[in-house]
Amino acid sequence: MAAAVEISLPNGLKYSQPTGLFIGNEFVPATGEKFAVINPATNEEVITLPGASEADVDKAVAAARRAFEGEWSELAAVDRGSFLYKLSELIDRDRKLLASIDAFDNGKARHTYTDALEGDIDESYNVFKYYAGAADKITGRTIETSPAKLAYVLQEPLGVCGQIIPWNFPFMMLAWKVAPALACGNTVVLKPAEQTPLSALYFGKLVVEAGLPAGVVNIIPGIGSVSGKALAGHMDVDKIAFTGSTNTGRAIMKSAANNLKNITLECGGKSPSIVFEDADLDQAAKWCHSGIMYNQGQVCTSTSRIYVHEAVYDDFLKRFVEITKENARVGDPFSSETWQGPQVSQAQYDKILSYIEEGKSSGARLLHGGSKHGSKGLFIEPTVFADTTEDMKIIQEEIFGPVVAISKFSTEAEAIAKANDTSYGLAAALFTEKISKAHKVARKLQAGMVWINSSNDSHFGIPFGGYKSSGIGRELGQYALDAYTQSKAVHVNLGSRL
C-alpha cells in the first residue's frame, strides 16, 4: 500500500491525502519519476509524489480491462447509474474539502473557494447526477429495411478509456470525463495533470466508498511525456479523451494512431468577444472582464481578444479598466477579499510574464497591470492591452493568463473576419441588443460555442468542444454518450428469401 500523508489546508481543514496510484481500488506505490506538488500561493513544495511508469500504466490498463470484461459489463445500466448517483452524493458531502484541495493545489480563488460551494465542485456533483440519470437511457434505434428484414442498433461501450486531464479545473475535468465514460459502461484510467494531482487521488477514496467494482476507475498521476504518452499509445486502450494544449493534443493523436483509438480532444483557444455599437456597455464590460480574468485567465474558453466598435471604443475601455481595477484584488486564494489567485506554476507564470513583455515591446497600449504582483507566490497583475493589431503575438497565441488584448473595428464584416482570424475555434462572445444581428453573427463565427451577451457559460447538458485546432468531438450532455459508445447494427432476416 502507498502511504497517505496528513495535510493541513490554509483554512484549517485537515485530511488524509492518498499518494501513489489508485489501481484496482487500492492505493499502490508508483515506480516512475517523482514530481513536486507545490502551493502556488507561496510557490513552496507541499510534497513530492512518485509518478506512474510505463509498467504502472500497463498495470492500470490491465485492471481496467479485467473490470470491463468482468462484473461491470454484467451490471444493468440502471445499477451503473446508481453507482454514479452514489458518487455524486459523496462529492456533495465532501464539497468543502474538495474545493479547498483544488484551491490549495491550483491556487483557485473566488469562484472555487470563497464561492467554492457554487463552483467547480457543484458542477462536478451535477455532472455525476446527470450521467447517473443518463446511464439507462442510452438506446439505439430499430430500422425496418424491408417487410422481411429489420435491423436494430445497440449502443455499446468502447472498453478501456484513457483520460488525460489538465490542471486548470482539476476536479471538474475529472467529472466531465469519468462520469459519462462510466455511464456508458466503460472503465477508465485517468491521468491528472502533474501540477494538480491531489483531488483526483482523493476521488479514489470516494470510488472505494461508493462500492464500485475494483478496476472500474484507476487514477495514475505522473509525468505527461511518460505516463500520458504510454496511455495514449497503449494497444489495449480503446479510447483517449484529452483536455490540454493543442500541441499535446497533436502528440496524443499520433500516439493513438497505432490501434486507431477513438479520440476526443479538447484543446486550446484564443476566443474573441465582439462588442457592437448597440451593446449594453456596462454588461458587455462586465462579461468581457470575467470572460478573460476568471480563474486567473487559465480557461480554455477565456475571451482573450476583444473587438469593440469604434463608436464605443473609448467608452468601453474606460468601463473595462474600471471593472479591472475594482477586481484587481490579487492574493491569497483562501481570503474572501480575493478575486484573483496565483497562476498554477512557475512555468506558466514565466510564460505569461514573457507574453506581457512581448505585448509592451510590440507597441500595444498598456492600460492596466503589466507585471508580477507581490514578492512571494505566483501572482500576476490583471493586464489590459489596447490598440492591439492582428500581427501581434498576444493576439495570435494562447497566453493562458490574466492578459487581454483589445482593439477596434468599423464594420460587422471586419469584426467577424478578425474574430475568425486564428487557428483556434473554441468559443466566441458577442454583445448587441439587436436580436437579428446576434443570431446572424453567431452563425458566422467559427467556434464550437457562442455566447450572446454573456461569456464562459457552460452547462452539463450542453455540448462543449471546438472547431479547427481547438479540438475533435464534444463533451457533456447527450453528445458525450456518443463519444463514449460505438454502435453495432444487428440485421435480422424475418423471411426466407436470399
User: Which run of H or of E encompasses 326?
Assistant: helix 313-326
Q: Of 38 and 57, which has the nearer Cβ to Mg ion?
A: 38
Closest approach, Cβ 412 to ligand NAP, in A, equals 29
Q: Write out the binding residues for ligand NAP, residues 158-217 only, by CB under 6 A.
A: 164-168, 191, 193-194
User: Is 412 noted as a catalytic residue in this protein?
Assistant: no
Q: Of 18 and 51, which has the nearer Cβ to ligand NAP?
A: 51
- Partners of 95 in the β-ladder: none
DSSP-based three-state secondary structure for 382: coil
Residues 309 and 298 sit within 8 Å (Cβ to Cβ): no
Q: Tell the burial category of 8 from Cβ atoms under 10 Å away from its Cβ (0-12, 13-18, 19+).
A: exposed
Residues 402 and 369 sit within 8 Å (Cβ to Cβ): yes
218: left (phi over 0), alpha (psi -120 to 50) or beta: beta
Closest approach, Cβ 347 to Mg ion, in A, equals 12
Residues 320 and 406 sit within 8 Å (Cβ to Cβ): yes
Q: Which does 105 bind (CB under 5 to 8 A by kind): Mg ion, ligand NAP, none?
A: Mg ion
Alpha-carbon gap, residue 271 to 428, rounded angstroms:
5
Residue nearest Mg ion by beta-carbon distance: 105
- Show Cβ contacts of residue 172 under 8 Å, excluding neighbours closer than 6 positions: 120, 121, 123, 124, 127
Q: Of 196 and 340, which has the nearer Cβ to ligand NAP?
A: 196
Alpha-carbon gap, residue 281 to 276, rounded angstroms:
9
Q: Of 164 and 292, which has the nearer Cβ to ligand NAP?
A: 164
Residue of 194, 266, 381, 475 marked catalytic: 266
Q: Of 198 and 231, which has the nearer Cβ to Mg ion?
A: 198
Considering only 73, 82, 245, 478, the residue that binds ligand NAP (CB under 6 A) is 245
Judged by CB under 6 A, how many residues of this single chain contact ligand NAP?
A: 26
Q: Which does 464 bind (CB under 5 to 8 A by kind): Mg ion, ligand NAP, none?
A: none
Closest approach, Cβ 227 to ligand NAP, in A, equals 8
Closest approach, Cβ 460 to ligand NAP, in A, equals 17
Residues 106 and 196 sit within 8 Å (Cβ to Cβ): yes
DSSP-based three-state secondary structure for 371: coil
Q: Write out the binding residues for ligand NAP, residues 380-409 only, by CB under 6 A.
A: 398, 400
Q: Which does 241 bind (CB under 5 to 8 A by kind): ligand NAP, Mg ion, none?
A: none
Q: Write out the binding residues for Mg ion, residues 93-132 only, by CB under 5 A.
A: 105
Residues 442 and 471 sit within 8 Å (Cβ to Cβ): no
Considering only 267, 367, 404, 405, the residue that binds ligand NAP (CB under 6 A) is 267
124 binds ligand NAP (CB under 6 A): no
Alpha-carbon gap, residue 272 to 429, rounded angstroms:
6
Q: Which does 18 bind (CB under 5 to 8 A by kind): ligand NAP, Mg ion, none?
A: none
Considering only 24, 32, 185, 244, the residue that binds ligand NAP (CB under 6 A) is 244
Alpha-carbon gap, residue 229 to 254, rounded angstroms:
10
Q: Which stretch binds Mg ion (CB under 5 A): 18-26, 38-46, 112-120, 154-162?
A: 38-46
The C-alpha cell at 20 is 501513489
Q: Of 146 and 346, which has the nearer Cβ to Mg ion?
A: 346
In one-letter notation, the amino acid at residue 23 is I
- Show Cβ contacts of residue 408 under 8 Å, excluding neighbours closer than 6 positions: 307, 308, 309, 310, 313
Residues lying near Mg ion in the complex (CB under 5 A) are found at 38, 105, 195
Residues lying near ligand NAP in the complex (CB under 6 A) are found at 164-168, 191, 193-194, 223-225, 228-229, 232, 243-245, 248, 251-252, 266-268, 300, 398, 400
The residues annotated as belonging to the active site are 266
